[in-house]
Amino acid sequence: MIDTSQTKPVVIVVGIATTGRREVLRDTLAQIDKQERRPDRILICPVNDSDVDWDHAAGLAVPVEHVVGPQGSSAQRNAIFDAAGEADLIVFFDDDFLPADRFLAETEHLFLQNPDIIAATGHVLADGIRGPGIDLPETFSILTSDTAPERGEARVAPTGNLYGCNMAFRFATIMRIGARFDENLPLYGWHEDIDFSGQLAGKGRIVFADALRGVHRGVKRGRTSGLRFGYSQIANSVYVARKGTMGWRRALRFAIGNTCANIVGSLRPQGLVDRRGRLKGNLLALSDLLRGKIDPKRILSLR
């Protein structure tokens, strides 16, 4: 439980795992720096030192710290956990997620007022992951035109899993139960959010909170290749279902839905979305599944 006494303020740490998006991350950090309730620390775990404009980061009002960790979203987030120290709340943002100005203020309020909540994910006003992505001017237009609900009227509802682009956790609970992002889901870490949510099931309330708002730009630069991602769409679904942190029915829906989308997209190419590469990865994974050799880590040997 967070100590609400005035002698011990709530410590909020923002964590960002990143690779290959130096300019995108700079825009995200500038937006975090504008929060009405700024975080106490920002921990960034890049794949390469050049992934971050450290000179820009040094000029922010919030201390930005370099965390060293292995490549892969899950491994990088775990490294951030290890560096979080005395955090009360830890909030993970994707490097292309821009939170509304009150995101962290509302996060703090939510967890203070609801000691049984251990994890929360917010309202994504627009999600560029489902299309070509959202540029910065459009992102700001969406944020400025949004009418957030009044405090006390915002919906807080149970959810089966968090959305990886924005996740807030009560850090003491994470440490107590020893939850970790699964590093057997390499690189982009497809379904790491679902798997992690499954590890938290039954430990406290996991919620969708409408007051936590932002835009997921869905920038395509720095993402896993179409072939690798397509393989992960099948292999990771099977792995997480076998592990028991996602139901088989849902895993089947993911596998069928993504494969069908890639078939249609292969006939009608969508620019930066490599549907043909994804479909090839889907078919390779299905072949491995039939031969009993499917493994999420196989993408490390694919190009």
Q: pLDDT by residue (tens digit) across 31-69?
A: 999 999 999 999 999 999 999 999 999 999 999 999 999
Mean pLDDT within 80-108: 97
The pair of three-digit structure tokens given for residue 85, joined into one six-digit string: 């120290």
Q: Is the pLDDT of residue 274 over 70?
A: yes
pLDDT of residue 221: 74
Is 5 within a domain? no
Distance CA 33, CA 40 (A): 11
- Percent of the chain exceeding pLDDT 90 equals 85
Does one domain contain both 120 and 269?
no
pLDDT of residue 6: 44
Does one domain contain both 210 and 239?
no
Is 112 within a domain? yes
| Burial (CB count within 10 angstroms: exposed 0-12, middle 13-18, buried 19+), residue 89 | buried
Domain containing 91 equals: 12-216
Does one domain contain both 115 and 252?
no
Q: Which of 176, 191, 216 is the last residue of a domain?
A: 216
- Percent of the chain exceeding pLDDT 70 equals 96
Is 4 within a domain? no
Q: Which of 198, 216, 234 is the last residue of a domain?
A: 216
Q: pLDDT by residue (tens digit) across 127-180?
A: 998 778 899 999 999 999 999 888 878 899 999 889 999 999 999 999 999 999
Please report, as a single letter, which amino acid is at residue 190: W
Q: Is the pLDDT of residue 195 over 90?
A: yes
Does one domain contain both 99 and 205?
yes
Which is more confident, 275 or 111?
Answer: 111
Does one domain contain both 41 and 96?
yes
Is 7 within a domain? no
- Enumerate residues 6+ apart whose C-beta is below 8 A from 58: 64
Is 271 within a domain? yes
Does one domain contain both 271 and 168?
no
Is 205 within a domain? yes
Tell me 301's DSSP state: G
User: Reduced to 3 DSSP states, what percent helix, strand and coil does the chain have, rounded to the nearest 5?
Assistant: 45, 20, 40
Distance CA 265, CA 129 (A): 14
117: domain CATH number is 3.90.550.10
Is 87 within a domain? yes
Q: Which of 155, 187, 216 is the last residue of a domain?
A: 216
Does one domain contain both 261 and 186?
no
Cα of first residue to Cα of last residue in the chain, in angstroms, is 46
Distance CA 215, CA 166 (A): 10
pLDDT of residue 262: 92
Mean pLDDT within 271-296: 92
Mean pLDDT within 63-88: 96
Under 8 Å between Cβ of 26 and 96: no
Is 267 within a domain? yes
Tell me 225's DSSP state: P
pLDDT of residue 5: 44
Our count of domains for the chain comes to 2
Distance CA 212, CA 219 (A): 21
Mean pLDDT within 106-117: 96
pLDDT of residue 7: 56
pLDDT of residue 249: 95
